[in-house]
Amino acid sequence: MKEPEIKPSETSAGKLPSHVAIIMDGNGRWAKRRGLPRIMGHHAGVRAVERTVRAARDMGIKTLSLYAFSSENWKRPESEVSGLMRLFRMYIRSRVELLLKEKARIRFAGRLDDLPVDIREIIREAEEKTESQEGLQLVICLNYGGRREILDAVNKASSSGEIFPLDENSFRKYLYLPDVPDPDLIIRTSGEMRLSNFWLWESAYSEFFFTEKLWPDFGPDDLEAALKTYGRRERRYGSV
């Protein structure tokens, strides 16, 4: 059977994006400006996640994906990485019951097998408990790298006995979350203007919104501003 084609959402000017993705940048700088340890910036970033998830749900976004920890972030100081892992444990555990109450589903994308065993178990339980929910779909990109995802997909296709050459549809099913639509809008905070290895395959026709706001200061008004900018754009997907 032919695999169903997943296309970017058919949104037009004035309409909401179906999938919003956010590169949450600036936690360290936020802390530094206040004379605080970097980990305190990450704690403030978690509060921004909570605000943004609620706002996305209230605004009618169907899928929200967050770049929480890249495959390159392991190079950070050990104390910071350990602090981040503790935050992930705390956040995922505490979020599950609230997601169930809000009819939301949580999913994870990345090389999850490389994470600590207890975090992998927490992730598995969270995904299983919320699997049947039909509200907001929250995707956490954890130990994620876009180039690595593409290489993993190629290797999976090769080892599966897939018939080459592949087309886009047959390749897509080997991505981490092949059923998640491509992001319509990618937001990056902190003034940086690059993808940083995020959703490389999936972002081919994404719109971008950059803000100087550091992630811990990001809130519903900033999300609304990004959505309004998106709503004024005309998406052509390569056509004239």
Catalytically active residues, by annotation: 25, 73
Cα angle 87-32-91, degrees, rounded to a multiple of 5: 10
Give the torsion sign (CA, 122, 124, 125, 126).
Answer: positive
> 211 — phi, psi (to 5°)?
-135, 145
CA dist 212 to 65, 183, 189, 191, Å? 20, 21, 6, 4
